[in-house]
Amino acid sequence: MTDVSITRLSAAQADFDDALSRLLAWDDSVDHQVNESVRHILHEVRTRGDQAVLEFTARFDQVDAAAVSELEVSQERLQQALAAIPVDQRDALEKAADRVRDYHQRQMQSSWQYEEADGTVLGQKVTPLDRAGLYVPGGKAAYPSSVLMNAIPAKVAGVAEVIMVVPTPGGTVNEMVLAAAAIAGVDRVFTIGGAQAVAALAYGTDTIPHVDKIVGPGNIYVATAKREVFGTVGIDMIAGPSEILVICDGETDPDWIAMDLFSQAEHDEQAQSILICPNAEYLDRVENSIRNLLPTMERAEIIATSLNSRAALIDVADLSEAARVSNRIAPEHLELSVADPQALVEEIRHAGAIFMGRYTAEALGDYCAGPNHVLPTSGTARFSSPLGVYDFQKRSSIIGFSAHGASEMGKIASVLARGEGLTAHARSAEYRIEGSAEQGGVE
Amino acid sequence: MTDVSITRLSAAQADFDDALSRLLAWDDSVDHQVNESVRHILHEVRTRGDQAVLEFTARFDQVDAAAVSELEVSQERLQQALAAIPVDQRDALEKAADRVRDYHQRQMQSSWQYEEADGTVLGQKVTPLDRAGLYVPGGKAAYPSSVLMNAIPAKVAGVAEVIMVVPTPGGTVNEMVLAAAAIAGVDRVFTIGGAQAVAALAYGTDTIPHVDKIVGPGNIYVATAKREVFGTVGIDMIAGPSEILVICDGETDPDWIAMDLFSQAEHDEQAQSILICPNAEYLDRVENSIRNLLPTMERAEIIATSLNSRAALIDVADLSEAARVSNRIAPEHLELSVADPQALVEEIRHAGAIFMGRYTAEALGDYCAGPNHVLPTSGTARFSSPLGVYDFQKRSSIIGFSAHGASEMGKIASVLARGEGLTAHARSAEYRIEGSAEQGGVE
């Protein structure tokens, strides 16, 4: 059941590019039936509000309530959870929260403006969103760390109201999730989930206020719903399965690397773990460690399926070639398990998070290093970033012309507007040109 | 034909909220047939590459070519266009480009990192995208200013290759658009458009390289295609019709305000122009100006349709109420045509761009003020920002633990991982705890 046979690739093989493409290929095509179902749910919640939320919650989560207000979790209940969890867990959550808060405060962007010689003022005003929605999965695995990672950046940004939704299938509540919400300063919590929760946050209902942006991971229904409501609200990203790429120089304890690969593979069967090393013999040793350690793992079957279907051990000529392959992959998590990570990181262009050196296990980043664990997957690190404070701030351009500045700029704008055939634009600008025929002046 | 009858609202009326909602309502529902058609085009280009691009270009743009390479516009041709356009247009474009470049350079984000007492290093590495795609509409109205506004932030960010696509329906090339591409430093230009151009940029073909992000405005086919490829590549935003909101204290020449409202309305029939003023009599005067000036406008019919169907003149109690209504609307363009714009801007939370004072016509911002004219529409300024350099940069978290730091953090991560049932995460962290049973150490 837990036999492993991991794909071996060599960057030197003739078909390496194609083989790597096949390995990375991830079917993100939208399932037609999921789509239809999600659209139906969105439509129902948009038009029937609370009543639709109650019906879907009864149907999908087997939770019956007479009113959505019954599904709200009070601040007292959150504090109760915080008081009830084991003290070591509470300590760990609080320490993690402190570190996450400290790191994220450094991401704050501020307004700026400058004045030109003629008194023209240009700038950018930075403001927080009014309200953010945070989706937290229930079901299979509940992740209190997700609550911290999603809510803290929003609160650091200054979002006035963070509204969390978390399904409680069959009524099962995760106390650590509620405790994390208390620590992170979540303002309101509703025990709803699925596409109906996304719809409620996007459109608002009588009981649940609409938000400006929805963040947080979820299953295919949640992801599809987020994609559909994108535009009505902001969304963070559509996450694929989790991945780790380890570049190792062949000098780290192979058991450590095996366990680091496991730590992604245990997330789910589609998670991807890749090791790149310029030493083929070391790849053998890691594979041995994998075989030895696997039977000792609680989630051995998930790990085995993930490793057999999506993992790879890749042999390269040197660390520079490893970096090139890594840039091609643009991994979510990148471990540089090498003697001189500082030198190697210079060659890395695309990665969600980079873990420097042998001691920096990816798992530390998942919980308490400080940086966010919500990271771009499936190669999207080519164009996107970890979740951050910047996701909860937005900018407004500031433009203020003096009378003279407006007159000078008006001449340029007039030429360009007439070049584009937009006469009202041109005349609007021309009114502000000093001494122009159009100019009436300020009354 | 060009009669106008503009909706009047008062913030004091009992049904103001509902009336405002109806006014703002914008049907962004996706047309099923457009969707199907776009999916077909995406699929064809994804699977058949160049050949499909050629077929769709022949069908939709009536441009026949034997190879996609024939549709590429050389750098020489761009320079030719720049040399050929009237000198005042070239001057205006170059001055606008300089100002846009100067403003956007101030948006550059840089990498940062910090070291903790125990040697742990945390930070964020900021890098440009490798390649960006820029969609420029052809057809009805061609906008060279769009080329500047989309390409310059990418080049300022350090994007190595900016690839522009612009359809040339019936073979019509806009020389100013090509000249703008030359000035902005666009690297490659293909005369293709529609969903097929978006597909080519997202997936790549033999001739057209795939990009990491696609920006720029387009019709419903382009917008739908961008929404579909979102995830494979980044996209900027799904733009709705353009809008302007003017808050006036009643002391600006009403002709100026009328023309400012026209400058949005002339974009298209669905553009929205709203004026808010605490002086109802002034609203009458602006309406008079509108009636007087409209017959003199080249695009009078478009303006009339836009004003009749989507504009409003809104009476409020005072400027603070005007700001509250504006925040509710979250306009793309906001003119503060008042005596003290600096005081009023303090009350503004959501807007794409804010134009300060009577002299700062919105049209100046469209062309040459410096800030970007690609702005969030349809209320999305609640959660999104003007296009900027930050759209062409992305971040990677940097995490580097010292042996001691990893040991301390490992203890916290272990507790949290075990709390989440993720044993491989826990053990991966525990390997790094000094003196732990798991610790094997570095070889």
- For chain A, give the number of residues: 443
pLDDT value at residue A438:
62
- Mean pLDDT confidence for B228-256: 92
Q: Model confidence over A234-288: pLDDT tens digits?
A: 999 877 888 999 999 999 999 999 999 999 999 889 999 999 999 999 999 999 9
Q: Quick check: A432 and B367 in contact, CB under 8 A? A: no
Average pLDDT, chain B: 93
Q: Which of A279, A383, A407, A414 to mutate to test the interface with B (most CBs of B within 10 A)?
A: A383
Smallest CA-to-CA distance from B201 within B172, B248, B235 is with: B235
Domains detected in chain A: 7-23+240-369 (3.40.50.1980), 32-112+129-235 (3.40.50.1980), 401-430 (no CATH)
Q: Model confidence over B382-435: pLDDT tens digits?
A: 999 999 999 999 999 999 999 999 998 899 889 888 888 889 999 999 999 988
- In the predicted structure, residue A401 carries a pLDDT above the cut 70: yes
Q: Which of B414, B431, B433, B436 to mutate to test the interface with A (most CBs of A within 10 A)?
A: B431
Q: In what order do the strands lie in the sheet with A112-115?
A: A112-115, A121-128, A393-400, B353-356, B333-337, B243-248, B272-277, B312-315, B7-10
- For chain B, give the number of residues: 443
Binding site residues of A for substrate, as ranges? Answer: 242, 264, 267, 333, 366, 420, 425
Mark yes or no for CB contact A424/B265 under 8 Å.
Answer: yes
Mark yes or no for CB contact B256/A431 under 8 Å.
Answer: yes
- Mean pLDDT confidence for A369-388: 94
Q: Which stretches within B207-357 are classed as H helix?
A: 220-229, 254-265, 280-293, 300-310, 319-329, 341-345
- In the predicted structure, residue B140 carries a pLDDT above the cut 70: no
Q: Model confidence over B158-206: pLDDT tens digits?
A: 999 999 999 999 988 889 999 999 999 999 999 999 999 999 999 999 9
End-to-end CA distance of chain A: give it in Å, rounded. Answer: 85
In Å, how far is B362's CA from the nearest CA of chain A? 8
Choose the closest CB to A212 out of B130, B355, B383. Answer: B383
Catalytic residue among A333, A335, A350, A362: A333
Average pLDDT, chain A: 93
Per-residue pLDDT band at B439 (split at 50, 70, 90): low
Q: Which stretches within B158-231 are classed as H helix?
A: 175-184, 194-203, 220-229
Per-residue pLDDT band at B443 (split at 50, 70, 90): very low
Lowest mean pLDDT among A234-248, B16-30, B254-268, B322-336: B16-30
Q: Model confidence over A34-54: pLDDT tens digits?
A: 999 999 999 999 999 999 999
Per-residue pLDDT band at A355 (split at 50, 70, 90): very high
- In the predicted structure, residue A436 carries a pLDDT above the cut 90: no
Q: What does the alpha-carbon distance between residue A228 and residue A230 come to, in Å, rounded to a whole number?
A: 6
> Which stretches does DSSP call E strand in A116-262?
121-128, 131-135, 161-165, 188-190, 213-215, 234-235, 243-248
pLDDT value at residue A254:
97
Residues from chain B contacting residue A103 (CB–CB below 8 Å)? 122
- In the predicted structure, residue B280 carries a pLDDT above the cut 90: yes
| Burial class for B87, CB neighbours closer than 10 Å (0-12, 13-18, 19+) | exposed
Q: Quick check: A361 and B406 in contact, CB under 8 A? A: yes
pLDDT value at residue A443:
36
pLDDT value at residue A190:
98
Half-sphere exposure (Cβ direction) of A352: Cα atoms closer than 13 Å: 26
Binding site residues of A, as ranges? Answer: 135, 196, 219, 242, 264, 267, 333, 366, 420, 425
Compute CA distances B20 → A208, A209, A232, B17, B257, whole Å. Answer: 21, 19, 17, 5, 21
Q: What is the DSSP code string of A22-51?
A: HHH----PPPHHHHHHHHHHHHHHHHHTHH
More confident residue, A442 or B62: B62
Q: Quick check: B131 and B212 in contact, CB under 8 A? A: yes
- In the predicted structure, residue B327 carries a pLDDT above the cut 70: yes
Mark yes or no for CB contact B399/A370 under 8 Å.
Answer: yes
**CB pairs < 8 Å spanning A and B:** 398
- Mean pLDDT confidence for B216-242: 89
More confident residue, A212 or B137: A212
In Å, how far is A352's CA from the nearest CA of chain B? 5
Residues from chain A contacting residue B359 (CB–CB below 8 Å)? 401-403, 405-406, 432
Which residue of chain A has the CA closest to B29?
A228
**Residue A333 bears catalytic tag:** yes
Q: Quick check: B129 and B159 in contact, CB under 8 A? A: yes
Per-residue pLDDT band at B442 (split at 50, 70, 90): very low
Mark yes or no for CB contact A363/B298 under 8 Å.
Answer: no
Cα four-point dihedral sign B326, B327, B331, B337 = positive
Mark yes or no for CB contact B122/A396 under 8 Å.
Answer: no
Lowest mean pLDDT among A184-198, A334-348, B259-273: B259-273
Mark yes or no for CB contact A368/B416 under 8 Å.
Answer: yes
Catalytic residue among B175, B243, B333, B373: B333
**Residue A332 bears catalytic tag:** yes
In Å, how far is B145's CA from the nearest CA of chain A? 8
Q: Model confidence over A62-113: pLDDT tens digits?
A: 999 999 999 999 999 999 999 999 999 999 999 999 999 999 999 999 999 9
Binding site residues of A for NAD(+), as ranges? Answer: 135, 196, 219
Helix (H, G, I), strand (E, B) or coil at B411: helix
Amino acid in position A378? S
Choose the closest CB to A145 out of B238, B360, B420. Answer: B420
- In the predicted structure, residue A440 carries a pLDDT above the cut 50: no
List phi, psi (to 5°) of A215.
-125, 165
Q: Quick check: B334 and B326 in contact, CB under 8 A? A: yes
Q: Which of A146, A402, A422, A433 to mutate to test the interface with B (most CBs of B within 10 A)?
A: A422
Q: Model confidence over A137-152: pLDDT tens digits?
A: 886 567 888 999 999 9
- In the predicted structure, residue B2 carries a pLDDT above the cut 80: no
